[in-house]
Amino acid sequence: MIYWHVFQYHLVEKDTGSNVSIKGAICDWYIEVYIKMSVAGQKLDQEISWTRTQGQAVSFSCKDNDQCATYVFWYQKKDGEPFTLILDIRKGNCAVDARYNHPQKDDFSAMRNNNCDLKIQLVKVSHSATYYCACYRSGVLVFGSGTKLYVTDNNSVQKPKVTVYPASKPEPNRKTTLLCLARDMFPDLVKISWKMVDENGQTVEVPKAEREELEQREEGRTTSMIIIDKDKTYRNKYSCSVEHEGGPQDVNIPEEEPTEASPTTMASPTTLQVTNDSLKSICSLNLASLVYTVMIVKSMVYCYGLSFLLHYRNMGCRPKTCRQIH
């Protein structure tokens, strides 16, 4: 279970020796897979990103933590490096425990508010990373979605240009595809969700049971595609909701022509351009789905292999085959 490995990670972080690197590698793999595969209801909500210049202050919130136990843990994840535990903050009085030997622990503090946010008073380039909160709910360690900190020369945040495409022609199984594209933004991190107007006139998120969803992230663009029953597109009005550091955007799915929401005035794409972009995005998403499945299978094999080696190392090996693991 991931929770036991994370608990081990808390314990071994102060130790030395080869066990730390092996257990740390397994823990990182479990944490990343867990965060990616968790459903929204099992995650703590966090901002997508913050953009700051050196010397500015920044704070990170861990929302919806009312059901958390006494402490909220904060992790730092730099590109190409493992998760590192920075500190934990006691709910209520915002007391900080920084005994985890993080190299930048003196740069972090707690900001007193309803959530006891994590704060960096003076941002440095070395603080560029993604920050995850975590807490225990009913004995289970739950992670946040993560907030990425960008440290740049200026605070030029650019909202995405959002383009949505009308429903495709229904397949023989009466399914149809809706496509939403967010591009040309900075930072290039967005959260895309799908909403609809139900029979009572209320705007709600499209139920997971009623859709198949696939998302692809590329440099400077994110594409989301959902497959739903064609009959539902006649009864319900659908929209693509894009959350970004520059602000949210909700764009309704048109019946025929594509609709684009842009911070600046732009000419509408032609029908030929829409068709090519749509086909390219759908093909890319199908390929991404296949690659993602292969990566999951390879990761599972890697995990089982490491677990097997650790098991036999702890239980002892036969003299002829035993070899020290570093």
Indicate if the pLDDT at residue 264 is higher than 70: no
Q: Quick: pLDDT tens for 59-109.
A: 999 987 888 889 999 999 999 999 999 999 998 899 999 999 999 999 999
Give the bridge partners for 294, in sequence order.
none
The residue count for the chain = 326
To which CATH superfamily is domain 161-282 assigned?
Immunoglobulins (2.60.40.10)
- With contact defined as beta carbons under 8 Å apart, do 123 and 55 qualify? yes
Percentage of residues of the chain with pLDDT beyond 70? 65
Q: What is the largest CA-CA distance in the chain?
A: 74
β-pairing, 96-97 vs 108-111, is unpaired
As given in the structure block, the two tokens for residue 177 are 């595809």
Same fold, 2-151 and 161-282: yes
**Cβ-Cβ contacts under 8 Å for 245 (sequence gap 6 or more):** 47, 48, 49, 50, 51, 157, 187, 189
Domain 2-151 indexed as CATH 2.60.40.1180:
no
Q: Quick: pLDDT tens for 282-316.
A: 555 555 556 556 666 666 776 667 666 666 666 65
Averaged pLDDT of the chain: 77
Q: Quick: pLDDT tens for 214-261.
A: 999 998 899 999 998 888 877 888 999 999 999 999 999 876 545 566
Q: How far is CA 255 from CA 48, 164, 165, 220, 221, in A?
A: 31, 11, 9, 27, 24
Percentage of residues of the chain with pLDDT beyond 90? 42
How is the chain split into domains, by residue range?
2-151, 161-282
Q: Quick: pLDDT tens for 102-133.
A: 999 999 999 988 788 999 999 999 999 999 99
β-pairing, 49-52 vs 147-151, is parallel
Q: What is the pLDDT of residue 326?
A: 40
As given in the structure block, the two tokens for residue 209 are 């049971």
Long-range contacts of 214-220 (CB under 8 A, 24+ apart): 214/285, 214/286, 214/288, 214/289, 215/285, 216/281, 216/284, 216/285, 216/288, 218/284, 219/188, 220/183, 220/184, 220/185, 220/188
Q: Which residue has the tokens 């380039």?
A: 125
Q: What is the pLDDT of residue 188?
A: 93
Q: Quick: pLDDT tens for 133-187.
A: 999 988 888 999 999 999 999 878 999 999 998 777 767 778 888 999 999 999 9
Indicate if the pLDDT at residue 22 is higher than 70: no
Q: What is the pLDDT of residue 229?
A: 87
In angstroms, the CA 182 to CA 262 distance is 10
